[in-house]
Structure 1
Amino acid sequence: LYKIMEKLNLIEKFEGQDFHTWQLQMQLHLIEKDLWDVVKSNSTPPTGGNELAKWNAKDQRALGTIGLGLSKAYLHHVDFTKSTKEIWESLNKLFGSEAEMAKTTLKQHLYGLKMEENSKMADHISKFRSLLNQLAGIKEHVKDDDAKAILLNSMPKSYSNI
């Protein structure tokens, strides 16, 4: 269990932002643990016997791995009575590229972004670009002119002469 937790610590828990990156990291982790075959979209469990028991055990390990990769605030989005494949698809519908909630949340973060007076410009630009990249990752592109206006609006008063 310690080794599993140690590996999971390399993957940041999903906390409602940057689902695409979290999903990719989790997929790679499941592949490394030889658990991805119970999650991928074209997977079907065996019909019975010892192979089905092995599949179910693998499914439970994958389910636990995904569950441990979610922050407490997002555990309620998961119905742990379902298969890992169903849970993966459900998370993708809620937060993935088609999710309106993800678009709205990212836009809210982008438009509400404010740089503190004593913050580093590089850190602020990094957050700003990350939000733009996340939006682009879900096919929600921000026009350059709009991005410039949002960035300028996010600056503190000390930058008002820009």
Structure 2
Amino acid sequence: MSSQDLLRYVDGSSTPPLEINPEYIKWNQSDQIALSWILSIVSESILTQIVSYDVAREVWVALAKAHASHSNICVLQLKRDLQNAKKNDKSMLAYFNHMRFCVNSLRAVNKIVSSSEYSQWLVKRV
């Protein structure tokens, strides 16, 4: 989007001029290109949730809210997995790989797990 100078239509830095302003037509055309681009890359299940929006910025905000909600649920689930993980009949390698997967997944969404916290989870559950 940035290579086509369309990012400003989704990040809020370009606001629409009044409809009576001659620049509105140009702004609306660019906004509709940005909107079309977004709508063309989302899955059908997501498309049904955002198809009613008319402006690229509205779609972008709706997608961000939906993603944030999903991310928060994933973070909670990963933390719960870490807290409840037990070695049981798993091999040590499988147990460590599961724990490492959870920690790396948390780190991927900028939820930092300290080394001491990770070590405590590993030792407590073995």
Interval containing the TM-score (normalised by the shorter chain): 0.5 to 0.7
Residue in 2 that maps onto 1:32: 3
Structure number with higher relative contact order (C-alpha < 8 Å, ≥ 6 residues apart): 1
Tell me which of 104, 108, 120 is aligned to 1:133: 108
TM-score, normalised relative to structure 1: 0.51
How does 1:71-150 map onto structure 2 within 5 Å? 71-96=43-68, 99=69, 101-109=70-78, 125=100, 128-136=103-111, 141-148=112-119, 149=121
**Identical residues among aligned pairs (%):** 24
Aligned-pair CA distance for 1:110:
6.1
Higher helix residue share: 2
Whole-angstrom distance in 2 between the partners of 1:134 and 1:61: 30
RMSD between aligned residues: 3.7
1:66 aligns with 38
Q: 1:117-150 CA deviation, whole Å, 9 max, x = no partner?
A: 9x9x99x9577524323142xxxx4344443437
TM-score, normalised via structure 2 length? 0.62
Corresponding letter in the other structure for 1:76: T
Please list the CA deviations of residues 38-74 of structure 1 after superposition, one character each: whole Å capped at 9, or x if unmatched: 2222421122354211211111111111122323332
Measured in 1, the distance between the counterparts of 2:73 and 2:67 equals 11
Q: Distance in 2 between matches of 1:94 and 1:81?
A: 14
Say if 1:112 and 1:72 are closer, same or farther in 2 by CA, change over 3 A: farther
Name the CA shift for 1:38/1:128 in 2 (closer, same or farther; >3 Å).
same
> Which amino acid in structure 1 is aligned with residue 16 of structure 2?
P
Contact 1:103-1:135 within 8 A present in 2 as well: no
SS at match of 1:41: coil
Task: Give secondary structure in 1 for the equivalent of 2:109.
Answer: helix
Contact 1:37–1:43 (CA<8 Å) still a contact in 2?
yes
Match for residue 88 of structure 2?
none
Distance of 2:37 and 2:28 partners within structure 1 = 14
